[in-house]
Structure 1
Amino acid sequence: MKLRCALLDDFQGVGTAFADWSAIADRVEPVPFREHFATEDELAEALAEFDIVVTLRERVPFPASLFARLPRLRLLIASGMRNSVIDLAAAEAHGVTVCGTASSGTPPVELTWALLLGLARGIMAENDALRGNGPWQSTVGADLHGRVLGLIGLGRIGALVARVGVAFGMDVVAWSRSLTDEGAAQAGVRRAASKEELLRESDFVSVHVGLNEGTRGLIGDAELDLMKPSAYLVNTSRAAIVDQAALIAALTEGRIAGAAVDVFDVEPLPADHPMRTAPRLLATPHLGYVTRDNYGRYYGEAIEDIAAFLAGDPIRRLG
């Protein structure tokens, strides 16, 4: 009898297409779920007959209460080697092995620049006008060359974003609580003395810090008020780093020129969520990690994780 493997949040239905499952096909049956299960009750019911679960990013929490409701579950695989919504201690207590996969930092860098450029040049508004027989040229683009790009965070992804900004001829400045002058210089950028200084100075602000108790709500009403009325904010990191209610208010009141976001406090975004109708907002449905190469990596290494687990020697264990 084959083990059943659930592929959660496989919205595009590609979980079995981007990797070769044949190596374990005689022992494991992959089952894609294209719909998102929003509640623990829905998850517990849907996953009751599964031995293995592959989950994408940090959208689906696995608390102790859910592990207790899934006695058949033996292996949980997360994309990436960090996952803040899986209770690793509870997994161990319930005999569930948790493994991860590699995750490339370049897709979110590329999407960050797609969003920033889309904001700066009014791409969506101009596209909609052109295809809808609207006005010919209705926006005036914001320049990048010579402008200040402020990076909240200069880690693996932030440093790559910085390199592109330098290539565009931007003055790149970065800040985080742990950033030093030496670290900034190594990345070819300036270090802002404070978050407030960076926000006041920047024409474009892009968020690239991880989510923790120190960064939750890092940008709220007070911080948005420091930004220039002509400035733009981009968040491809985690939704909770930027207070979403404060951002909607700033956009609605025109206190900043615009924002682009790829992450939300609830995903998938409900039909009546105010982010769907906020003005001056360019939004994408958490596409930062969604590329062919990354999906090949996620599902390919998930298969390797399963094979190693079945052989009694799990690899890439979390926790």
Structure 2
Amino acid sequence: MKLAVLDDWLGVAKASAPWERLAPHGVKMEVFERPFASEDEAAKALAPFDILVPTRERTFFPGSLITRLPRLRFIAQTGRIPGTLDQEACRARGIVLSTTGGDLVPAATGELAFALLLACARGLTEGDAGMRRGRWQDGVPAGMVLEGRTLGLLGLGRIGARVAGMGRAFGMRVIAWSQNLTPERAAEGGAVAVDKRTLFAESDAVSLHVVLSERTRGIVDAEALGAMKPGAILVNTARGPLVDEAALLRALSEGRIRAGLDVYGTEPVPDDHPIRSAPNTVLSPHLGFSAAPIFRQFYGEALEAVLAWLAAGAPKAG
């Protein structure tokens, strides 16, 4: 029997769990550290495997791919919500699916969102690049002081509420909007509920914390970006397609706003993608959940599920 760990982009999977526990069961493990270029490439590479351990939602598993994996019997999905996996296709094939917890994901993602906000506010990436080229302050924009400014949160769930707390700790006024947010729920999350236009028009920084769905795809459109104050900051650690990419690139190139981005419409971002050279940006390669204790939980719980399935024919309950 063969097991594949997918999309281990940081090369941490082997050290994050005691995979040697698979050996007594005759399971051979292989780790893929690079993404597949196409569905055809994925189908060819994964056809020999009985068990897959995807790293979050990095590889898409539509029904068309599931049907091309004849040996596949078990998927130990890391993370809580396998949004890129066709679960109906798995059920039709009798493929068993398990998921894991992610206890520290909200904290890790919230911290990164605020780090991107701070980096944008104080021109840290320009300062770092200049220092490495033997320069001093030339080319570094004059910074923004966050105290007394307004932080707008598009979404006030587990992550958004954490960022709200960080904003308040920095002396910021915090406002929030989402399609289902009530004034009462906003107050519980430490923010004041406003409408969408007010959120973008009054905020000095807007941070995105909603789930990607058909309702939210492109929710940050040209109108929303156009309503932002000159020099305001957009932070996205949620999902790339929440933002109209073409409208964002225009706003950045015109110097109207700055952006701290951790997520993109296509990941990994192609070498020639215009966002890589866009001005007024701080870019990180989807590091929101990428922290050592989170990987230990992801891969550790995935391994336990695999071992339970091997022993009893089903993943461990819960």
TM-score by length of 1: 0.95
For the aligned residues, what is the CA RMSD?
Answer: 1.2
Contact persistence 1:99–1:316 (CA under 8 A): no
Match of 2:150 in 1: 148
Contact persistence 1:51–1:75 (CA under 8 A): yes
Q: Which has the higher mean CA deviation after the structures are superposed, 50-59 or 169-178?
A: 50-59
Deviations 1:171-221 (A, max 9, x none): 0001111111111111221111x1111100000000000001110000111
Match of 1:62 in 2: 61
Question: Does 1:175 pair with 2:173?
Answer: no
SS at match of 1:61: coil
Contact persistence 1:8–1:54 (CA under 8 A): yes
Match of 1:208 in 2: 209
For 1:62-141, list aligned pairs within 5 A: 62-103=61-102, 104-136=105-137, 138-141=140-143
Amino acid at match of 2:115: A
SS at match of 1:71: coil
SS at match of 2:24: coil
Contact persistence 2:231–2:255 (CA under 8 A): no
For 1:41 and 1:128, locate their aligned partners in 2 and report how far apart those are by CA, in whole Å: 40
For 1:304 and 1:118, locate their aligned partners in 2 and report how far apart those are by CA, in whole Å: 39
TM-score by length of 2: 0.96
For 1:191 and 1:73, locate their aligned partners in 2 and report how far apart those are by CA, in whole Å: 47
Match of 1:233 in 2: 234
How many corresponding residue pairs? 313
Match of 2:273 in 1: 273
SS at match of 1:303: helix
Deviations 1:2-57 (A, max 9, x none): x2111111122221101112332322222111111021100001001111111112
For 2:76 and 2:50, locate their aligned partners in 1 and report how far apart those are by CA, in whole Å: 11
Match of 1:6 in 2: 4
For 2:94 and 2:165, locate their aligned partners in 1 and report how far apart those are by CA, in whole Å: 44
Unpaired segments ≥5 residues, structure 1: none
For 1:160 and 1:169, locate their aligned partners in 2 and report how far apart those are by CA, in whole Å: 15
Contact persistence 1:100–1:316 (CA under 8 A): no
Deviation (angstroms), 1:140: 1.4
Q: Which has the higher mean CA deviation after the structures are superposed, 198-207 or 69-78?
A: 69-78
Contact persistence 1:261–1:284 (CA under 8 A): yes
For 1:33 and 1:70, locate their aligned partners in 2 and report how far apart those are by CA, in whole Å: 16
SS at match of 1:13: coil
Match of 1:188 in 2: 190
Deviation (angstroms), 1:316: 6.0
For 1:21 and 1:165, locate their aligned partners in 2 and report how far apart those are by CA, in whole Å: 41
Contact persistence 1:13–1:34 (CA under 8 A): yes
Match of 1:223 in 2: 224
For 1:197 and 1:115, locate their aligned partners in 2 and report how far apart those are by CA, in whole Å: 23
